[in-house]
Amino acid sequence: MNFIIPFIILITVVVFIHEYGHYYFARKYKVGVTDFSIGFGKELFGFNDKSGTRWKFCLIPLGGYVKFFGDRNVFSQAEQAEILKKYSKEDQEKLFITKPLYQRALIVFGGPLANFLLAIVIFTSIYMFVGKDFTQPKIDKITIDGPADKAGLMKDDIILSINNNKILSIREVSTFINTSSSDTIDITVLRNDREITFKTETKSIDAEDAFGNSIKKKIIGISITPVTNELNQKKLGPVSAIYYSVQEIWFVTKTTLSYVGSMITGKADTSQLGGPIKIAKISGQVAEFGLLAFITTIAYISISLGLINLFPIPLLDGGHLMFFLFEKILGRPLSQKTQEGFFRIGLFLLVSLMLFTTFNDINTW
């Protein structure tokens, strides 16, 4: 129960926000919405609102959906004339397929957009009311004959950037090293008022994270300490807080895309790739650290959900946006048969990924 309850809360929040993004733009452009579901399978409870939408919670809490009025495939405009014959003039105005291309695209994009906005709200609130760490790091110790020592780094070097990512806090040093997609990193330090850049190799070791989970960790053989021997956490104003929130989202996005690129080329360590079981485990562990840590995790999962849904894979929002791009270029939608072929490919990819991540989750539990 320590894992299940936090997991259900986390998934419910990020899925609700995602689906509400679709719902908001659908209602804005007067598309009929018959169902707003959190979860799949048998309905546990729900209610109907004044517009006729059924809001419901279902048995399997691993996603959700918004169902539009009268559309067997809510994102397909193929065979439009045949579909329109089934509806009156009044009902036709509520159909998704009758809306202009830009409106359909915004309705689809609304889900990922809502996830990114949730992350901005969370990070901005934390930076404004709790603060953001701006502790500048310096090298305290270096492992003799370790990668950093061989590269020429020295004790008391102040770390300025890693792979052109400016170091704003002491916590970012490990993050930028571990998220590097290469076996070498460029690390810029301040030494005797001079900025010097070194190229150093990284070394992968078996380690444990803060929760005791086994992980692969990259190190360069240094320990770090604050330059002033104390932490520097500042509460930010709204503009600065939003700026750093967007910057954090961009970093997560860039890092994720880099990792996906490494997976495609066969260079990434896929043993750390996880699915629902891993998310459930981590959400339970994070919840034990307190509300702030749990809310921060919600922000990161929300970013991941929004970004993954933008991948150009049929069945995901990005796949539907890809179809809209084809429609814009060709001047007509792809045929229903062609779309269904793409959907089968997308289903195969998603099921394969789900099975692979589940295997990883069970193997590392």
82 belongs to the catalytic site: no
- Residue 50 CB partners (closer than 8 Å, separation 6+): none
- Residue 329 CB partners (closer than 8 Å, separation 6+): none
Dist CA 365 CA 363 (whole Å): 6
Point out the catalytic residue in the list 19, 79, 82, 172: 19
- Which residue type sits at 105? A
Alpha helices by DSSP H, the chain: 4-28, 80-84, 89-92, 101-129, 147-151, 172-178, 238-264, 276-287, 291-308, 317-330, 336-364
Q: Closest Cα partner for 198 from 150, 267, 258?
A: 150
Q: Which sign does the torsion angle of CA 75, 77, 79, 81 carry?
A: positive
Dist CA 295 CA 354 (whole Å): 25
- 3-state SS class at 274: coil
Active site residues: 19
